[in-house]
Chain A
Amino acid sequence: MTGRQIMTADEIRRATVRISHEIVEKQAGTTGLALVGIQRRGVPLARRIADAIADHEGVRVPVGALDITFYRDDLSLVAQQPVVKGTELPFDLNGSTIVLVDDVLYTGRTIRAAMDALVDFGRPQAIRLAVLVDRGHRELPIRADHVGKNVPTSREEVVKVHIDEIDGEDGVDIERAVPVAAAVG
C-alpha cells in the first residue's frame, strides 16, 4: 500500500483555525452556536474548533459528540454490527445553530444519518457542516459549508485522517486501497 501525505499537521491547524473564523462569521457571532463532532475523529476536531473560537472570540461554545451507528442505512448490509461509541449532547438543541463536524466528507450518508439523529434530540434553527477533507463522490444531495481542503480522489483511494488525540499524530494521507478481491477475501 502506497500512501502520500495531502495535509501536514500545520495545514490541519491552519484549516481548523480558518474554519473557526468562517463559522463565527457566518453566524455573525457565537450566540446560539453549538458544535457537534461525529464519532470518532469529528469529536476532537470539534473541540479544536471550539478552542480556536474561544481564542479569538473569548466565548466557549458548547461541544457535543454524536454516534450515528444506530442511524446508518447499511446496518442490514454489514456483516457485523459496528462498535457503538456513545452520544453526548449536553445542551438544548432547540433553536440553536448546530455545526456538525467530521473528518472526511465522502458519500454523504454519514451526514444524512447524523441529521436524522440530531432531530431526535430537538429542533435546531439550522444545521451546518464543517469537514476537514471533502473528497467528492457524493451519493446524496449534501454539501459542506466549511471545508478544510478539497481533495479530488478516485473511489479506489482511501483518505486516512490522523488526529493526535486518537492516533498520536496529525496528518492526512491518501492511499491506494488494497485490491477489492484481496480485501473481501
Chain B
Amino acid sequence: MTVIDREPSGDSAPTLSVPVVDSPPGDQAVGWRHRHLLDVDVLSLADLELVMRTTDAMREVLARPIAKVPALRGRNVTILFYEASTRTRISFEVAAKNLSADVVNIATATSSVTKGESLVDTVKTVEALGAQLLVIRHAVSGAPALAAEVFSGSVLNGGDGWHAHPTQALLDLYTIRASLAGPDGSLAGRKVVILGDVLHSRVARSNIWTLTAAGADLWLCGPATLVRGFEAWALRGAAGRRFTVTSSVDDALRDADVVMALRIQKERMATGLLPSLREYSARYGLTRERLAMARPGALVMHPGPMNEGVEIAPDVAAGVQSRIEEQVRNGVAVRMALLYLLAGVRS
C-alpha cells in the first residue's frame, strides 16, 4: 500500500494528544495515537492509511489455515449493544476472537439496563468486571463519547444514533480502494454516490468524511426531505473536497464508479418525510435500469441490513457488480485492525 500524501483541505483533522512513550530500540512503531475511536473526523490521512495497511495484514491472517493470532491474548473486549444488530455485533465478536481476545457480549435487552441502570453505571460495571476494550452501539448520538469519559480503557463506537459509524466507513473505504484506488491509494476522479436515506444515516455521515478525504467525488442523492441540511456540509467542505447534493437520481448515477444504497430507516423516521415506501422505491430504488446509467462495472454497495425491493432490487444486490458480501468480509478485517491498533495505546 502506498501513502496518500495530501492533507485534507478545509477541515483539518485534530488529533488526540496522548503522550507517547518510546518503543523498544530498533522497533518501528506505527504512530497510532487515538485511545478511542468515536468518529472518523479525528483520523488524519496517515491514520487512514495505517488502518488500510493493517487491514491488509488482517486479510492475510483471515486467509490462513488457522485464522487466529495471539495478538490480544488476555485482553477483554466487551461488546455492549443497545440497538439491534447482527452483522456488526458478530463482526466485532469474530474480529476479537480472531485476535485471541476474551469476548464478553452484553445484549441490553436481557441485562440490568431493562431495570433502569444508566449508561454510565453499566460502563463502570463492565469495567469493574474486567473490560479493557469497549465496543458500544447506542441509539443516542454521543453515547460512546459519554462512555469514553468514564471508561479507563478504549471505547470503539459501533454506531451511535445518526452521528457516526466509524468501522463501517473504514470497511467501505477499504472495499472501494481494493477495486478503484490509484497507485497512491487515492480515489481522486472516482464518483461515489450515496443513495437513499442520508438524513438518518450515521453510515453516510462517516463515509462523507473518509471518502472525500480519500479524494473521491462524492454525491449524496435522495428525496429532498432525506438529504436536507447536507448542502451546508457541502459548502463547509468546499475547499478541496468534492461534494454534491442532489435529488436527481439521473444526475447522481450518471458515470458513477460506486453506488452505495442506504436502507430507509423506518425506526428513526418521523412521519411525513416520505409519501410511501412504494413511491420511494419507484423513484429512488437501485434497479438494474438505473444502475445501467453508471459506469460499466460500477461497484454496488450496501451497509446492510437490506430491504430488498425498496432501496435496492434483489437482482442488483445479488448481481456481479455487488460488493455487499465483500463488505461483510472486509468488516471483520477492519475491526481486527482497529482493535489491534487501539489495544496498543496506553490509557
- Say how far A79's CB is from chain B's closest CB, in angstroms: 4
Could you tell me the distance between the alpha carbons of A83 and B29 in the complex, rounded to whole angstroms?
Answer: 6
With A74-B24, A75-B344, A81-B340 as contacts: A87 and B60 at CB distance below 8 Å: yes
Taking CB atoms, residues of chain A closer than 8 Å to B255 are none
A70 contacts the other chain (CB 8 A): yes
A185 contacts the other chain (CB 8 A): yes
How many contacts between A and B, using CB within 8 angstroms? 82
Q: Which residue of A lies closest to B336 (CB)?
A: A70
B66 touches A79 (CB 8 A): no
Taking CB atoms, residues of chain A closer than 8 Å to B343 are 75, 81
Main SS class of interface, B:
loop
A79 touches B56 (CB 8 A): no
With A79-B22, A86-B60, A120-B64 as contacts: A70 and B27 at CB distance below 8 Å: no
B71 touches A69 (CB 8 A): yes
Taking CB atoms, residues of chain B closer than 8 Å to A158 are 25-26
Which of A67, A80, A116, A121 has the most CB atoms of chain B within a 10 A radius of its CB? Answer: A80
Could you tell me the distance between the alpha carbons of A86 and B1 in the complex, rounded to whole angstroms?
Answer: 12
- Say how far A89's CB is from chain B's closest CB, in angstroms: 9
B20 contacts the other chain (CB 8 A): yes
Could you tell me the distance between the alpha carbons of A86 and B58 in the complex, rounded to whole angstroms?
Answer: 9
- Count B-side interface residues using an 8 Å CB cutoff: 37
Q: Mark B333-347, 1 if CB is under 8 A from A, else 0.
A: 000000011011110
Could you tell me the distance between the alpha carbons of A144 and B295 in the complex, rounded to whole angstroms?
Answer: 58
With A83-B29, A122-B65 as contacts: A78 and B344 at CB distance below 8 Å: yes
B57 touches A84 (CB 8 A): yes
Taking CB atoms, residues of chain A closer than 8 Å to B340 are 70, 81
B57 touches A67 (CB 8 A): yes
Could you tell me the distance between the alpha carbons of A85 and B27 in the complex, rounded to whole angstroms?
Answer: 12
Could you tell me the distance between the alpha carbons of A177 and B32 in the complex, rounded to whole angstroms?
Answer: 26
Q: Mark A72-97, 1 if CB is under 8 A from B, else 0.
A: 00111011111111111000000000
Taking CB atoms, residues of chain B closer than 8 Å to A184 are 21-22
Taking CB atoms, residues of chain B closer than 8 Å to A185 are 22
B32 touches A81 (CB 8 A): yes
Taking CB atoms, residues of chain A closer than 8 Å to B54 are 84
Taking CB atoms, residues of chain A closer than 8 Å to B65 are 120-122
- Say how far B22's CB is from chain A's closest CB, in angstroms: 6
Could you tell me the distance between the alpha carbons of A122 and B340 in the complex, rounded to whole angstroms?
Answer: 25
B31 contacts the other chain (CB 8 A): yes
With A70-B69, A158-B25, A183-B25 as contacts: A79 and B20 at CB distance below 8 Å: yes
User: Which residues between 158 and 185 of chain A lie within 8 Å of chain B, taking CB atoms?
Assistant: 158, 177, 183-185
User: Which residues between 1 and 53 of chain B lie within 8 Å of chain A, taking CB atoms?
Assistant: 20-33, 53
**Can you add 14 more A-B contacts, CB < 8 Å, to A79-B344, A120-B65, A121-B66?**
A70-B61, A74-B24, A75-B72, A78-B27, A78-B344, A80-B20, A81-B341, A83-B28, A84-B54, A116-B70, A117-B69, A120-B69, A121-B64, A183-B22
Question: 29 A-B contacts, Cβ less than 8 Å apart?
Answer: A69-B71, A70-B340, A71-B69, A71-B70, A75-B72, A75-B344, A76-B74, A78-B23, A78-B29, A79-B20, A79-B21, A79-B22, A80-B23, A80-B31, A80-B32, A80-B344, A80-B345, A81-B30, A81-B32, A81-B340, A81-B343, A83-B28, A83-B30, A84-B53, A85-B57, A86-B56, A120-B66, A121-B66, A158-B26
